[in-house]
Chain A
Amino acid sequence: MIMGPIRRAIDRFRGAGSAAITLPPMDGAIRPNQAIEVATLVLEIEAPDNLVFDGRNIFFSNGAAVLSFDPAATTPRPETIATFDHPVTCLAASAEGTVIAGLNDGAILFAAGPRKGQRLAEVGAKPSCPTALLIDGGTLIVCHGSRQNAPLNWKHDLMQLNASGSVWRIDLAGGAPTCLADGLAFPYGLAADSAREIAISESWRHRVVSARSSDTPLLDNLPGYPARLAPAVGGGYWLCVFAPRSRLVEFVLHERDFCADMFREVEPDYWIAPSLTSGRSFLEPLQGGAIKQLGILKPWAPSRSYGLLIRLDAKFLPVASYHSRADGVRHGLTSCVDLGDRVLVASKGGNAIIALDAAAQAGDAP
């Protein structure tokens, strides 16, 4: 242990050990395909986020508004049910018709139902950062992504190497919130398992942990940054992965001096950082493998954005995955809802809500 600093210096020189830049491969159950890219388009709308289902209607956020539509309709027409002063960052819905929204300024309030407009007690250190909500009986579970940044500034939080997120339980009837877990690196998704134990997706550590103990993760070494978890009909879970890990980003995360200058001089959209979407501007950083050859961008090119949805079994092990690769556009998947016959997925980076046919098995990339 005395060797720690020396060891680290040697590692840094050789690029080994703690300074090594190695990523888990997309293989096994996470082998690439184009299932997300070719899935049916349900709705084309700017940056849809956090799809939730109350048993009758689908709710989702779009900027500062909460919208809803009937999933049974052939051409869904979303209606605005609430509009706020700040962008909505997360939603939760219960079968009783209650919809709760978290806002970018930290507020958590009822967006629909009998208590519409009522605010819930803020939790944790301010400014708080609600990134995911889950109604669990008479209580609300809240993910607070970070103490330093608002939810939409997630890119800053990652590049600052923060790990200040926490998860809280609030009694909807009133009472003091209780902290379920702390010291998390951007918790961004919640799910309750059959024993009503809470599972949390921890984005910057690329894993899913249990609220009871984060020592042994339920799922580790993801090739991307996980977002929302959703229960799957028939057992298991869906895990949205909103951005891929890349060796360039992992390398830049080690380069603190470079990062400091980048924060100061460059707009966040053009940082070397994961992104919900990419390739929209020539001011974005480009990696060598992403140069178009003969007019074609290779699907396996290094990319700052990606679309990945992973089906987990009841033990949180991946069993299948659905992709939109570097040459696709349906990137930045942040949430999904399993309706039984199909899965609705929000592609926040691709400005679309799509329906994945549950009968269609994830095959290999064509």
Chain B
Amino acid sequence: MRRTEFPFLGFGVGLRRPHYGHVLESHPRMDWFEIVTENFMVRGGRPLEVLQRVREHYPIVMHGVSLSIGSTDPLNRAYLAQLKSLAERFQPAWISDHLCWTGVGGRNLHDLMPLPYTEESVARVVPRIREVQDFLGCRIVIENVSSYMAYRDSRLTEWEFLGAIADQADCAILLDVNNVFVNAHNHNFAAETYIDSIPPERVVQIHLAGHQDHGAYLLDTHDHPVREEVWRLYERAVCRFGPVSTLIEWDDKIPDFSWLQAAAEEARGRCGPLLPSGSDTE
């Protein structure tokens, strides 16, 4: 895999329903949008109309929550067919989903459940990613999830696990820096070690988001501004990885669009001084 297969899109935000009107009517400055794929897996109507009109003006990335690549259930062929059909129609820059399982036994928890970091899990997930990539005809991008539990059977660190899967499946990584920060708190490791250990050539996108502090744990809620500690982790990532397409995620208690724009511009501002002159961040 070459990182150049994935273009540098710049600084984007998630496309969310409260902002549809503003985006369609005002065409605000934004480098790109990320959609939640499942919200547009419908037969017709306003969601697809909105996406069509957004796509006419902006690049998009399709970010799914139901691929369940880590499940021990068979891959959902109907879901994959819908995913492929949507991608063929809207031509996203890439397709991403999470390194997790969302259900088993035909049931769906509608949550991103972590996997044990074991060779068994690696052996389970790698061929599934390869099969998905073969079906879609493109490399996919896999995101690290936030987690609140760790398995006693884990023998690898989370970053070793993510790196091994990306290398063996030959896929790309969407590094959620907020999730790294959340997990470092929840599982007592140094977030910097995580950032310093991920194979840089695999990272093609970064997520930034806010979380809630519950004292004993941090909860990845995507309903707060990015914390300063997460921004600093982002800067560390940029120093290591170079310019990477960056997305501000905000999924609940969604503020005015201008807030998200400001956050995207902050990411651009923090990125610029860290890179060698001539690096593309504009």
Q: Do A and B come from one complex?
A: no
Residues of A within 8 A of B (CB): none
Residues of B within 8 A of A (CB): none
